[in-house]
Amino acid sequence: MLKIENLKAEVDGVEILKGINLSVNSGEVHAIMGPNGSGKSTLSSVIAGDETYEVSSGSILFDDDDLLDLDPDQRAHKGVFLSFQYPVEIPGISVSNFIKAAITEKRKVLGLDPMPAKDLLWKMREKMDLLNMKPGYLSRNMNEGFSGGEKKRNEIFQMAMLEPKLAILDETDSGLDIDALKVVANGVNKLKNSNNATIVITHYQRLLDYIVPDYVHVLHNGRIIKSGGKELAHQLEEKGYDWITKLADEKWGS
Amino acid sequence: MKQEELSEDELLEKVTSTEYKYGFTTDIESDTIAKGLSEDVVRLISKKKEEPAWMLEYRLKAYNTWLEMEEPDWANVNYPKPNYQDIIYYSAPKQKKKLDSLDDLDPELKKTFDKLGISLNEQKRLSGVAVDIVMDSVSVATSFKSKLADLGIIFCSISEAIKEHPELVQKYLGTVVPARDNFFSALNAAVFSDGSFCYIPKGSKCPMELSTYFRINEAGTGQFERTLLIADEGSYVSYLEGCTAPQRDENQLHAAVVELIAMDNAEIKYSTVQNWYPGNKDGKGGVFNFVTKRGICHEKAKISWTQVETGSAVTWKYPSCILKGDNSIGEFFSVAVTNNLQQADTGTKMIHLGKNSKSTIIAKGICAGKSNGSYRGLVQISKGAKNSRNFSQCDSLLMGDSCGSHTFPYIEVKNSSSQVEHEATTSKIGEDQIFYCNQRGIGTEEAIALIVNGYCKDVLNQLPMEFAVEAQKLLEISLEGSVG
């Protein structure tokens, strides 16, 4: 589904991604871990098409398209979803209106009429239950006055509504207490099927107890320096990152 | 951001390719007098309108006042001063006879209304809005008149009111905005050719929205309409006005006067969606919109001004409230959009005279292109206006780096028991907000529309439903392509 080859990206002339290679197939969950500043968020932003970062080489194949040829909204229409680490506020726009706009735009591209209001509302209610959202949530303005946890849940709620093929969860666990974490993880797990894939970006192993990955990759200094199964996450939890990063630094320089 | 700068030219291209939708002209025969202004012209207008002597006297007095006045230049706008001798002061679509019903309307005229999206019959049936239409200088059609008359409500053109209800017109005309008030109000008083008149009798609640639609058609004409609205004790009315003009290379002058009178316990809601031709991207053409709007609130009365300003090359407009009565309330909700080379200096005045009077000001400016938007507001609380309160919020939203936004709040409080609050913010639409929307599949244009709508929500919510939808669309059109 997703095939990233030799991806290099920079911001203000500083290279952050130094040649990423990654393959993700349908039905898989991949975890990307790594210390602060390793390039995890940059990778997710570049896949989503954030123009703050300039891609200097490489490709991001998604099904039959190179995502690098597409605008961010076109990538979204193809089924790429990013759960933001820091979701922004959009004052004056309610959650329901925002989601309605997003779904309408996607359907427009597919040549479909807007979803009937009744169906849309029904679907929203269903997904709200899935994520234990409080009543009144839909009429609140997008992320305005939301707590850290509410913002993250709002991201997953949108994911549930938009049903992406590829969901990238960027530090979705940060700011969540353990109960909220379970709710969010449970939601993500229920949305999983054999046709979609998830990339979980996280600093800590904690989230991976609930969203169990098929593969774990360690990102350091703009490169994936080690890949393995879910046991790799446990090793990292026990031993920290130093034992692998040292080896990598010897190879590429720090 | 790099990519943004690169595409700026393309964006400009895009902005200008969005054509002003209402820029057509209607080919109907009209009765037009020669250019220029003199005492004779004032007499001629009055004569053509078959006015009584008192009206002519009023006009002549105003004309003489105007002669002694100078065009103001304190507003934060720059424009070539109009040559007042180069304007046609009277132009009326020629109609063979007086109309009995809208069905007798000139077919060409009817087509115009259809193009403007105001099929009178549709409106009649669907929304229950009574419409008065002023084309160039003359009111051409008023709907629902008889139904309103049953309730004692008078809704007609001001020319008709001068003839049919002289006692009301004579009593109230010029009491809120005297001719000598300013240069443009004096000019208006001398040459106004039509406008709307409305009287709501004691204790009645007008059952439908009243609406006036203004249209400049003839080339080289100025439009000087006059609106007088009287809500008698304990009555309620919601009034809407909309305006468009053809696309012309020369500037057209629009200098209207609106007077509102809210007697004890009355409430007037006055909403405007202003979409005069703004000129092209190089600032050529467009309407100069110099308008004086003011209302007076007697005891426990309330006046609420809501405006969405997207058109005009230059706007100079301060809908105001004189809170004369105790416990009276004044409100001002405004969205002013400027794009390309448009300039707007707009705001309000809240003059507190009565005790416990309250006012609220919510002004939202949106500037794009190379435009310039200013908020200018006065909150004046007199010595006798004990325990009065004002809350003002003035926000500006900037798009791009070439526009300017300014705020000129004037606050004068002459007693110690009153409270005034003023909040102001300036923001830019964030790249991060746009990217967030993009990531959800919402394209940049739609994202901007969404963000702008959210920003204006407090004001748009004040508009009646059908108008709010129209206003939203207008905002989208006015800002199309203004951010990458």
The pLDDT, as a whole number, for residue B211 is 79
Q: State the nearest Cα–Cα gap between A112 and chain B, in angstroms.
A: 15
Distances (CA, A) of B232 to A133, B201, B296: 50, 5, 12
Give the residue-averaged pLDDT of A113-140. 91
Q: Which domain holds residue A172?
A: 2-252
Tell me what the mean pLDDT of segment A3-23 comes to: 95
Categorize the per-residue pLDDT at B112 as very low, low, confident or very high, splitting at 50, 70 and 90.
Answer: low
Q: Tell me: pLDDT of B81 over 50.
A: yes
Report, as an integer, the average pLDDT of B181-186: 92
Written as one letter, the residue type at B119 is: S
Task: Place B220 in a pLDDT band, splitting at 50, 70 and 90.
Answer: low
Q: Does residue A151 register a pLDDT over 50?
A: yes
DSSP state of A207: G
**Residue A153's pLDDT is what?**
93
Q: Does residue B19 have a pLDDT over 90? A: no
Give yes or no for B446 touching A (CB within 8 A): yes
Local confidence band at B14 (pLDDT 50, 70, 90 cut-offs): very low
Return the residue in B1, B437, B456, B469 with the most chain A beta carbons within 10 A, the one to mutate for interface testing.
B437
Cβ-Cβ pairs closer than 8 A, A with B, add up to 85
- Does residue A32 belong to the interface with chain B, where contact is any CB pair within 8 Å? no
SS3 assignment, position A9: strand
Element housing B93 (H / E): strand B91-93
Q: Which chain B residues have a beta carbon less than 8 Å from that of A75? A: 439
**Cα separation of B64 and A165, whole Å?**
75
Q: What is the mean pLDDT of residues B41-67?
A: 92
What are the tens digits of pLDDT across the range B429-440? 888 999 999 999
For residue B148, report the phi and psi dihedrals to the nearest 5 degrees: -70, -35
Using CB atoms, which residue from B432, B443, B451 is nearest to A73?
Answer: B443
Query: Which residue among B4, B433, B446 places its CB closest to the CB of A90?
Result: B433
**Chain B contact for A77 (CB, 8 A cutoff):** yes
Task: Decide if B97 touches A, using CB distance below 8 A.
Answer: no
What residues of A are in contact with residue B458 (Cβ under 8 Å)? 92
Alpha helices per DSSP H over A61-116? 72-78, 95-109
Q: Which secondary structure element, helix H or strand E, spans residue A24, and what is its range? A: strand A14-24
Burial of B12 (0-12, 13-18, 19+ CB in 10 A): middle
Residue to mutate among B4, B442, B446, B459, with most A CBs inside 10 A, is B442
Q: Tens digits of per-residue pLDDT, B230-280?
A: 999 999 999 888 766 666 666 778 888 999 999 999 999 999 887 777 777
Chain A residues in contact with B6 (beta carbon < 8 A): none
What pLDDT band is residue A29 in, cutting at 50, 70 and 90?
Answer: very high
- State how many domains chain A has: 1
Which residue would you say has higher pLDDT here, B141 or A213? A213
Which residues in chain A have Cβ-Cβ distances shorter than 8 Å to B454?
A: 90-93, 141-142
Q: Quick check: A147 pLDDT over 80?
A: yes
CB contact under 8 Å between B430 and A88, yes or no, is yes
Mean pLDDT over the full length of chain B: 81
pLDDT tens per residue across span B404-416? 888 899 999 999 9
Out of B23-27, B97-101, B160-164, the most confident range is B160-164
The minimal CB distance from B454 to the residues A52, A90, A105 is found for A90
Mean pLDDT of A60-71: 95
pLDDT at A195 over 50: yes
**pLDDT for position B66:** 93
pLDDT tens-digit series, residues B289-340: 889 999 999 999 999 999 888 877 888 889 999 999 999 999 999 988 888 8
Which pLDDT value is given to residue B29?
A: 60
Pick A81 or B26 by higher pLDDT.
A81
Interface test with B, best of A10, A54, A73, A98 (most B CBs within 10 A): A73
Distance of alpha carbon A103 from alpha carbon B275, whole angstroms: 31
Query: Looking at the predicted structure, is the pLDDT value of residue B82 above 90?
Result: no
CB under 8 Å to B349, separation ≥6 — which residues? Answer: B294, B318, B320, B321, B377, B378, B379, B380
Q: What is the pLDDT of residues A39-50, one digit of tens each?
A: 999 999 999 999
Q: What pLDDT is stored for residue B120 in this prediction?
A: 46
CATH code of A121's domain:
3.40.50.300
Q: Which of A91, A92, A101 sits opposite B442 (nearest CB)?
A: A101
Chain A contact for B415 (CB, 8 A cutoff): no
The predicted model gives B470-483 an average pLDDT of 71
User: How close is the nearest chain A Cα to the Cα of B257, in Å?
Assistant: 34
**Local structure of B213: helix, strand or coil:** strand
The answer to whether B438 faces chain A, any CB pair under 8 Å, is yes
